[in-house]
């Protein structure tokens, strides 16, 4: 069982051997396991690994299986294990296509190919072919660039030897249906199992399931036992051999049956520690019947961040943003976030996911058309023949009217119902298994979504299409292959809708305070009260004590430190309001034709502030990605070159303007103004994450100051040599590996006035080493107990104990605290220790008597956080408990 993990983003320039070189440092830091990005063979040159092409081998780009074994050996030699990222939902549609043997087989042999069961292809479309939207222009215009050829020796694979006839189009190399290679080109194209098409047709005509809206990532049917076995054999072999100790499961919401998948995986992997990248929204909880350790921690990230956000300040900043941008300028400027999210989601459903909605509509239409007519009045009812001999009509909730006839619902009405339900669903997806009663929460949320969906119809009679789709999605209309498929497809499409509509669109449109725009979050209401935070920690300790916690990942839009700086703005909204006015006036000379608009200027300023210091390439790349994802002024596929060039010129001019970015420039002045409070937020969030219930994951470089932006910015190399040298300096001369942190005198630690990166490094190492040495204080048999200060500023103190042996104390809302006059006489009563025992702060070495109250101003004299450990016998596992009942398990 991990005590802490460290996420490494593997790529060709940081391979297994490079990771092995960092192992001694990471062991000294205090982690127990390396957390590796995907390790199977991906598209050559992939910088992330989620585009797997061959599940049967470890990535040659990373060093192959031999390199992985060298890394595992180095890790074992230093007492570390490996956790690996597993990608069950999808694999690449690579270019050239022969890189994927399963895909090659389907393209060549169609639905009769042995690998056809791997993919969700709708062969029932007219023509019965798989759409490949890879052409740069319409087919007629692309014909001169298509040619029949054979594979060369350097392209040969086991499934396609040299000399195999192929169709070439630029870098695309496609198989030919056997016997068609000699046909005229037009006839040859019509005879293939795939239909070459202009790339724009993918939005509306695509007939294979993909990852979100990415046509180059095709969905996998791991619910099929043969597909599961083929796609997991290599990873499971590495698990069985002891090279891999745990798994992170990417995007489980894309699977037809997440619970069923996890059950099969748990059985095959022997119950190894497994966490799932499940995005929970609002008060949603991870299903208790999922056999896993917990989530990857986005639910925790949101609550930690919320603890350090001033909610009234967020409201004032939002008001300032609306005034600054002039809400009459655009539809979203004066709206609430839920309205922005609804519009964004509707756009995604009707445009980017039109093909997926079309498939659901075809499926629902077929089900309705094939449904038997109801029995005449007075005749006995009988189940639908399609439902099978043992799965007749599923009982409906009391009071819900029975649908007596499905045939009278037009495809257009069913499509509208599907669209409206997808837009209104407040969570990523329902969890329904055909043949089982729908979970009460899934049923409740879909029924609630049905209410606004009905308003899209002019009459109540037509609105009954909504009820039909709800019943189909919940599996209430009995069973048949088509009905079972609808249950899965609706849920899978819902997860893509939520991801693309909210986190990948609305979060880029809503910019009042960028730090709160992370997955699962509520940007308009991000604040979390300490009491609510403690309650959530108690829930985690009781139900998911060894799930993962995190502050930064490869998918966060901004790293923890970038968010911490922006979070302080909510405590000083008037300062930010004045700054916006000053920066707008000072940068007016950098506008061209009034561009970029004020919304975009605001986005640029907060991005610049969050990442400062930042260069032009990083800032421009992030801002352009944000604007394209927002899809209001420009998009990835419909770029407004005039607007984008104006943005690039504006960013370049700001970075070159000494008044903004010079040594005494406006950006630097604001950074210095925010620095003391930012320090409190960054260190507080860090220590809370490292000591609360769960297994903390440290993102590469996050133990120091890390100001990364959305990918690919957050995949930049980390200087592990510099990190190792700094940790050695912090540990001081003569230190072994720094693991004995529960007794004796603390090493020197960071000097007075040290930078944030140095202080973070110290806090990280001390907390992780403590966790590794005393795992029982933080594990499933530990406890979580909120503690409370007393005095005039107690509301700015968040404190909890673990196992009655460790106390975490942090400062929250430091700007408000400073304006109120500081801590004054605020105290923290420390629990009594037997035999006059005391508490020692592992971060400073200072000791405090048990049973006494310590002045918080003294406790935080050197650092705005404290990590207190009970002295005496219990430092080594003995001793008596701290007074008071503990919450949790």
Q: Give the H/E segment covering residue 54.
A: strand 52-58
Take residue 297 and report the two structure tokens written for it. Answer: 């921690």
Distance CA 864, CA 677 (A): 10
Cβ neighbours of residue 88 under 8 Å, at least 6 residues apart?
220, 222, 228, 231, 232, 249, 250, 252, 255, 261
358 plus 417 within the same structural domain = yes
128 plus 167 within the same structural domain = yes
Q: Counting Cβ atoms within 10 Å, is residue 855 exposed (0-12), middle (13-18) or buried (19+)?
A: middle
Asked whether residue 83 is domain-assigned, the answer is yes
Measure the CA angle with vertex 173, ends 170 and 178; round to 5°. 140
Asked whether residue 774 is domain-assigned, the answer is no
Return the number of other C-beta atoms located less than 10 Å from residue 408's C-beta. 11
Distance CA 694, CA 778 (A): 8
Sheet strands (E) in 686-729? 695-699
Nearest CA-CA partner of 280 in 91, 431, 74: 431
pLDDT of residue 48: 97
Contact 372/446 with Cβ under 8 angstroms?
no
Q: Give the H/E segment covering residue 549.
A: strand 548-549
Single residue among 168, 200, 219 that ends a domain in this structure: 219
366 plus 484 within the same structural domain = yes
Contact 815/568 with Cβ under 8 angstroms?
yes
Average confidence (pLDDT) per 10 residues, the chain, 889 residues: 98 98 99 99 97 99 99 99 99 98 99 98 97 98 98 97 98 98 98 98 97 98 99 99 99 98 98 98 97 99 99 98 75 76 98 98 96 71 43 42 69 98 98 97 97 96 96 96 98 98 98 97 97 99 99 98 99 98 97 96 99 98 99 97 98 97 96 99 99 99 98 96 97 63 60 95 98 98 98 98 98 98 98 87 96 97 97 44 31
- The two beta strands, 90-92 and 214-219, are antiparallel
81 plus 156 within the same structural domain = no
Asked whether residue 522 is domain-assigned, the answer is no
CATH value at residue 788: 2.60.40.1180
User: Sign of the C-alpha dihedral, residues 52, 243, 83, 252?
Assistant: positive
Distance CA 354, CA 792 (A): 57
Measure the CA angle with vertex 664, ends 658 and 669; round to 5°. 115
286 plus 426 within the same structural domain = no
In 3-state terms, the chain is what percent helix, strand and coil (to 5)?
A: 45, 15, 40
CATH value at residue 41: 3.20.20.80
Asked whether residue 885 is domain-assigned, the answer is no
Distance CA 479, CA 394 (A): 8
496 plus 369 within the same structural domain = yes
Return the number of other C-beta atoms located less than 10 Å from residue 342's C-beta. 18
CATH value at residue 166: 3.30.1590.10
Contact 211/195 with Cβ under 8 angstroms?
no
212 plus 224 within the same structural domain = no
Asked whether residue 611 is domain-assigned, the answer is no
CB half-sphere exposure, 275, CA atoms < 13 A:
28
Distance CA 549, CA 60 (A): 31
Take residue 197 and report the two structure tokens written for it. Answer: 């098409």
Residue 790 has what DSSP assignment? B
pLDDT of residue 873: 39
85 plus 207 within the same structural domain = no
Q: Give the H/E segment covering residue 66.
A: helix 64-77
Single residue among 162, 191, 219 that ends a domain in this structure: 219
194 plus 235 within the same structural domain = no
Asked whether residue 534 is domain-assigned, the answer is no
Contact 678/566 with Cβ under 8 angstroms?
no
Give me the domain span that covers residue 494. Answer: 341-374+384-395+403-505
Q: Output the CA–CA distances (angstroms, integers) from residue 5 to 14, 30, 142, 369, 690, in the order listed.
A: 18, 9, 50, 53, 11
482 plus 370 within the same structural domain = yes
pLDDT of residue 809: 99
Place of tokens 């599996």: 475
What total number of domains does the chain contain? 4
Take residue 330 and report the two structure tokens written for it. Answer: 């655009």
352 plus 475 within the same structural domain = yes
What's the CA dihedral at 521, 527, 530, 531 to 10 degrees? Answer: -80
Asked whether residue 712 is domain-assigned, the answer is no
Distance CA 114, CA 108 (A): 11
Asked whether residue 232 is domain-assigned, the answer is yes
145 plus 278 within the same structural domain = no
pLDDT of residue 833: 81
Single residue among 219, 239, 269 that ends a domain in this structure: 219
Q: Counting Cβ atoms within 10 Å, is residue 374 exposed (0-12), middle (13-18) or buried (19+)?
A: middle
Contact 250/87 with Cβ under 8 angstroms?
yes
> Both ends of the chain: CA-CA distance in Å?
17
Number of H helices, E strands in the chain: 29, 26
Express each pLDDT in 632-663 by its tens digit: 999 999 999 999 999 999 999 999 999 999 99
Phi, psi of 744 (to 5 degrees): 80, -170
Distance CA 273, CA 247 (A): 6
pTM score: 0.94
Nearest CA-CA partner of 675 in 723, 764, 609: 609
């Amino acid at each position: 069982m991990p005590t802490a993990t460290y996420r490494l983003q593997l790529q060709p320039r940081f391979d297994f051997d490079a990771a092995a070189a960092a192992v001694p440092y990471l062991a000294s830091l205090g982690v127990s396991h390396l957390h590796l990005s995907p390790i199977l063979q991906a598209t050559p040159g992939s910088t992330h690994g989620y585009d797997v092409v061959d599940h049967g081998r470890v990535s040659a780009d990373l060093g192959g299986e031999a390199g992985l074994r060298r890394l595992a050996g180095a890790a074992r030699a230093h007492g570390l294990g490996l956790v690996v990222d597993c990608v069950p939902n999808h694999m690449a549609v690579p270019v050239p296509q022969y890189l994927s043997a399963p895909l090659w087989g389907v393209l060549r042999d169609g639905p009769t190919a042995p690998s056809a069961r791997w993919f969700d292809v709708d062969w029932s479309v007219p023509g019965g072919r798989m759409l490949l939207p890879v052409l740069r222009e319409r087919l007629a215009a692309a014909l001169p660039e298509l040619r029949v050829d054979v594979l060369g020796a350097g392209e040969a694979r086991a499934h396609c030897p040299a000399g195999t006839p192929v169709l070439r189009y630029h870098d695309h190399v496609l198989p030919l249906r056997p016997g068609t290679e000699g046909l005229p080109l037009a006839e040859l194209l019509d005879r293939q199992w795939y239909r070459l098409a202009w790339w724009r047709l993918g939005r509306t005509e695509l007939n294979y399931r993909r990852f979100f809206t990415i046509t180059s990532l095709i969905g996998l049917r791991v619910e099929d036992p043969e597909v599961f076995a083929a796609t997991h054999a290599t990873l499971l072999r590495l698990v069985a051999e002891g090279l891999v100790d745990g798994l992170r499961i990417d995007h489980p919401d894309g699977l037809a049956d997440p619970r069923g998948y996890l059950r099969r995986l748990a059985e095959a992997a022997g119950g190894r520690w497994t966490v799932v990248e499940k995005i929970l929204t609002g008060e949603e909880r991870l299903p208790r019947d999922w056999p896993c350790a917990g989530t990857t921690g986005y639910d925790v990230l949101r609550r930690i961040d919320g603890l350090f956000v001033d909610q009234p300040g967020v409201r004032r900043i939002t008001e300032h943003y609306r005034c600054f941008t002039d809400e009459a300028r655009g539809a979203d400027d004066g709206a609430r976030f839920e309205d922005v999210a609804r519009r964004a989601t509707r756009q995604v459903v009707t445009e980017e996911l039109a093909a997926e909605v079309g498939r659901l509509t075809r499926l629902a239409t077929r089900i309705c058309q094939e449904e038997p007519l109801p029995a005449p009045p007075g005749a006995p009812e009988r189940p639908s023949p399609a439902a099978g001999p043992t799965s007749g009509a599923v009982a409906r909730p009391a009071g819900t009217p029975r649908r007596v006839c499905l045939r009278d619902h037009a495809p257009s009405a069913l499509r509208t119902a599907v669209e409206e339900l997808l837009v209104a669903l407040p969570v990523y997806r329902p969890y329904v298994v055909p043949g089982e009663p729908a979970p009460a929460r899934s049923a409740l949320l879909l029924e609630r979504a049905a209410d606004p969906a009905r308003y899209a119809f002019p009459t109540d009679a037509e609105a009954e299409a909504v009820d039909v789709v709800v019943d189909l999605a919940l599996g209430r209309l009995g069973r048949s292959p088509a009905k079972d498929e609808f249950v899965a497809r609706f849920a899978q499409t819902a997860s893509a809708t939520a991801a693309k509509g909210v986190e990948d669109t609305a979060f880029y449109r809503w910019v009042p305070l960028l730090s709160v725009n992370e997955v699962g979050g509520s940007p308009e209401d991000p604040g979390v009260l300490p009491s609510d935070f403690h309650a959530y920690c108690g829930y985690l300790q009781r139900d998911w004590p060894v799930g993962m916690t995190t502050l930064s990942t490869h998918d966060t839009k901004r790293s923890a430190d970038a968010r911490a700086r922006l979070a302080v703005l909510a405590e000083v909204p008037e300062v930010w309001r004045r700054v916006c006015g000053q920066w707008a006036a000072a940068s007016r000379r950098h506008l061209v034709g009034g561009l970029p608009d004020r919304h975009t200027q605001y986005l640029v300023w907060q991005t610049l502030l969050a990442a400062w210091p930042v260069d032009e390439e990083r800032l421009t790349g992030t801002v352009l990605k944000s604007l394209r994802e927002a899809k209001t002024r420009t998009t990835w596929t419909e770029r407004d070159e005039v607007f984008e060039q104006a943005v690039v010129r504006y960013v370049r001019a700001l970075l070159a303007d000494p008044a903004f970015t010079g040594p005494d420039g406006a950006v630097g002045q604001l950074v210095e103004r925010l620095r003391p409070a930012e320090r409190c937020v960054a260190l507080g969030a860090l220590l809370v994450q490292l000591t609360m219930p769960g297994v903390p994951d440290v993102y590469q470089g996050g133990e120091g100051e890390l100001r990364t932006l959305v990918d690919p910015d957050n995949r930049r190399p980390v200087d592990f040599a510099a990190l190792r040298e700094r940790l050695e300096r912090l540990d001081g001369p003569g230190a072994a590996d720094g693991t004995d942190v529960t007794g004796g005198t603390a090493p020197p630690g960071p000097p007075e006035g040290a930078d944030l990166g140095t202080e973070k490094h110290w806090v990280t190492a001390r907390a992780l080493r403590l966790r590794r040495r005393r795992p029982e204080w933080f594990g499933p048999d530990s406890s979580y107990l909120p503690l409370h200060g007393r005095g005039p500023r107690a509301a700015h103190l968040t404190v909890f104990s673990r196992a009655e042996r460790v106390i975490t104390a942090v400062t929250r809302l430091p700007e408000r605290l400073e304006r109120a006059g500081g801590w004054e006489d605020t105290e923290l009563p420390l629990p009594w220790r037997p035999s006059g025992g005391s508490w020692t702060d592992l971060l400073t070495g200072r000791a405090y008597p048990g049973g006494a109250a310590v002045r918080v101003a003294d406790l935080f004299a050197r650092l705005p956080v404290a990590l207190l450990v009970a002295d005496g016998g219990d430092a080594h596992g003995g001793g008596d408990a701290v007074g008071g009942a503990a919450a949790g398990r």
